[in-house]
Structure 1
Amino acid sequence: MQNLLTTITEKIEVNTNLTMALHSAFQKIKVQKGEAILEEDTTARFLYFIDKGVLHNYYYHDGKQISSWFYTENHFITAWYSFYAQQPSFEAIECLEDCELYRISYTDYQKLILEFPEFNTLVMDDLG
Structure 2
Amino acid sequence: MSIDEILDRIYPLPESSKISLKESIKEVSYPKNFCLMEAGKFVPYVYFVKTGIVRAYASAEEKDITFWFGSEGEPVVSMKSYVENNPGYENIELLEPCEMYKLKTENLKKLYHEDIHIANWGRKFAERELVKTEELIISRQFKTALERYKDLMRDKPDLLKRVQLGHIASYLGITQVSLSRIRAEMK
TM value normalised by structure 1: 0.89
The gaps in structure 2 that reach 5 residues or longer are 133-187
Larger % of helix: which? Answer: 2
Larger % of strand: which? Answer: 1
Q: What secondary structure is seen at the aligned counterpart in 1 of 2:2? A: helix
Contact 1:8/1:122 (<8 A) preserved: no
Contact 2:57/2:65 (<8 A) preserved: yes
- Matched residues, number: 127
| Counterpart check, 1:118 vs 2:117 | no
Q: Which has the higher contact order (CA 8 A, sep 6+)?
A: 1
Q: Distance in 2 between matches of 1:100 and 1:122?
A: 24
Counterpart mapping for 1:25-64 below 5 A:
25-64=24-63
Aligned to 2:11: 12
Q: Distance in 2 between matches of 1:124 and 1:106?
A: 13
More divergent stretch after superposition (62-71 vs 76-85): 76-85
Contact 1:75/1:126 (<8 A) preserved: no
Which protein shows a greater Rg?
2
* Identity score, percent: 19
The gaps in structure 1 that reach 5 residues or longer are none
Q: Distance in 2 between matches of 1:96 and 1:59?
A: 15
RMSD, aligned CA: 1.6
Which amino acid counterpart does residue 26 of structure 2 have in structure 1? Answer: Q
